[in-house]
Amino acid sequence: MRDSGNTNEVLASRFDQDSQIMLGLLTAVHGDSQLTQRSIASQLDVALGLVNSYLKRCLKKGLIKVTQAPARRYCYYLTPQGLSEKGRLTAEYLSQSFKLLKYARLQCLEAFAKCKENGWTRIALVGGGDLADVAELVSHAAGIKVVAILDENGIAGDCGAPVARNFGELPPVDAVLITAMPETQAAYELARRTFPEQRIFTLHVLHVNRGASPEDGPS
User: Could you report the per-residue pLDDT of 170-197, keeping only the tens digit for each?
Assistant: 999 999 999 998 788 999 999 999 999 9
Quote the pTM value: 0.64
- Residue (of 179, 73, 81) closest to 124 by Cα position: 179
Q: Are strands 73-78 and 64-69 parallel, antiparallel or unpaired?
A: antiparallel
The domain limits of the chain are 17-88, 101-206
φ/ψ of residue 74, rounded to 5: -125, 145
- Residues in CB range of 118: below 8 A, 6 or more apart: 174, 175
Please report the pLDDT score of residue 36 as a whole number.
86
What confidence tens digit (pLDDT) does each residue in 107-159 have?
A: 999 999 999 999 999 999 999 888 899 999 999 989 999 999 998 887 666 66
Identify the CATH number of the domain defined by range 17-88: 1.10.10.10
What confidence tens digit (pLDDT) does each residue in 191-214 have?
A: 999 999 999 999 988 888 887 444
Top CATH class, 101-206: alpha beta
- Residues in CB range of 16: below 8 A, 6 or more apart: none
What confidence tens digit (pLDDT) does each residue in 57-83 have?
A: 999 999 999 887 776 678 889 999 999
